[in-house]
Homo-oligomer: A and B are copies of this chain.
Amino acid sequence: MHILVIGAAGMVGRKLVQRLAREKGLGGNPITAMTLADVIEPAAPEGFSGTVTALAVDVSDANVVRKLISGRPEVIFHLAAIVSGEAEANFDKGYAINLDGTRYLLDAIRAEGQRAPYVPRVVNTSSIAVFGAPFPEVIHDEFFTTPLTSYGTQKAIGELLLTDYSRKGFLDGISIRLPTICIRPGKPNAAASGFFSNILREPLAGQEAVLPVEDDVLHWHASPRSAVGFLIHAATMDLAPMGWRRALTMPGLPATVGQQIEALRRVAGEKAVKLIRRVPDETIRRIVAGWPRQFDASRALSLGFVAEKTFDEIIRVHIEDELGGRIP
């Protein structure tokens, strides 16, 4: 089996590739080759004996995308995107990568299938940014998509295209909307959502972290390990029960900042909690207030997607996967 990962150098992409390399198979089929593409050349995974082709590519170039598909990968993970802030600041770049790039991918698959039968599984990462305030307290599976960013607009369009190309039989696609990934490994970053991870990751490493919002801020979380699990499940499940409703909000854990901190206290003690410094930031508070808070992801749950049930679990996943199993 040949797998293509577009966006393989990102945080979730890297973890996905590592897991595929470790398991050496997908849905019972041995993986013989992986093509890893990103805007920078992705690292090859360790301990994988199959063929690895790592490529630095620009998916807003239709010819480049056609070349990626000419290898006829059976499974395609499409994780590449210009993120929300950048797509908002650079309108043309966001549309070029997030909309045109996705369409080039779907059209390349269709063209390949016109040469000889070819209907790959395509797992497309979408986002809860397809939703825009005002929201009901809990967003259900049939709530409409009214994005308030260009990024969310591009993701919503990608969902529609993937479904239509699936319905026409050109590919077998599913779009999954990821929750906020927590705990993001790495350094604190400037993203408005960064603090959800910072206030756990930094104290677990003995470092201070800044909390810019109140304790009652509610948000929707899943671990990086769960995100990879969603992708693998989406790549291997039977999609027929979904009908032509191929975009799906992933399950997650609703938790307030206060609940995050309580979980940190239980797992790492008062010493860790003391490293959280409260520095209210009105700008971040306002941005976060416009985000969806909680979902009823019944449909995804009924289709076998699984996320964490407690924040203690989310913290333990981080300790296992990033800190070698113990708090330094």
Q: Which A positions have Cβ atoms within 8 angstroms of B?
A: 91, 132, 142-148, 150, 153, 156-157, 160-161, 163-164, 167-168, 244-245
A144 interface neighbour in B144, B147, B164, B167, Cβ under 8 Å: B144
A147–B164 CB distance below 8 A: yes
| A147 vs B157: C-alpha distance when bound (angstroms) | 12
B167–A148 CB distance below 8 A: yes
A160–B163 CB distance below 8 A: no
A244–B91 CB distance below 8 A: no
- Contact A163 to B146, CB < 8 A, known contacts A91-B168, A168-B91, A244-B132: yes
User: Which chain B residues lie closer than 8 Å to A146 at the CB level?
Assistant: 163, 244-245
B145–A142 CB distance below 8 A: no
- Contact A153 to B144, CB < 8 A, known contacts A132-B244, A168-B91: no
Would you list the 7 A-B pairs with minimal beta carbon distance, nearest first? A153-B164, A144-B144, A142-B144, A146-B245, A153-B160, A157-B157, A156-B160
B244–A148 CB distance below 8 A: yes
Copies in the complex: 2
Q: Which residue of B lies closest to A244 (CB)?
A: B148
A160 interface neighbour in B157, B164, B167, Cβ under 8 Å: B157
Q: Which residue of B lies closest to A245 (CB)?
A: B146
- Contact A143 to B145, CB < 8 A, known contacts A153-B161, A157-B160, A160-B153: no
| A186 vs B328: C-alpha distance when bound (angstroms) | 80
A147–B168 CB distance below 8 A: no
| A91 vs B110: C-alpha distance when bound (angstroms) | 11
User: Which chain B residues lie closer than 8 Å to A168 at the CB level?
Assistant: 91, 150
User: Which chain B residues lie closer than 8 Å to A145 at the CB level?
Assistant: 144-145, 160
| A91 vs B169: C-alpha distance when bound (angstroms) | 12
Nearest chain B CB to A299 CB, angstrom units: 11
Nearest chain B CB to A255 CB, angstrom units: 26
User: Which chain B residues lie closer than 8 Å to A245 at the CB level?
Assistant: 132, 146
| A262 vs B296: C-alpha distance when bound (angstroms) | 44
User: Which chain B residues lie closer than 8 Å to A143 at the CB level?
Assistant: 142, 144
Nearest chain B CB to A288 CB, angstrom units: 18
Taking A144-B144, A146-B163 as known contacts, 20 extra A-B pairs with beta carbons closer than 8 A to each other, sorted by chain A number, are: A91-B168, A132-B244, A132-B245, A142-B143, A143-B144, A144-B145, A145-B145, A146-B245, A147-B160, A147-B163, A147-B164, A148-B244, A150-B164, A153-B161, A153-B163, A153-B164, A156-B160, A157-B160, A157-B161, A160-B160
List 6 contacting pairs A-B, 8 Å CB cutoff, sorted by A: A132-B244, A146-B163, A153-B161, A153-B163, A157-B157, A157-B161
| A168 vs B146: C-alpha distance when bound (angstroms) | 14
Give the most central of A91, A146, A147, A164: most B CB within 10 Å. Answer: A164
Nearest chain B CB to A110 CB, angstrom units: 8
User: Which chain B residues lie closer than 8 Å to A91 at the CB level?
Assistant: 168
User: Which chain B residues lie closer than 8 Å to A157 at the CB level?
Assistant: 157, 160-161
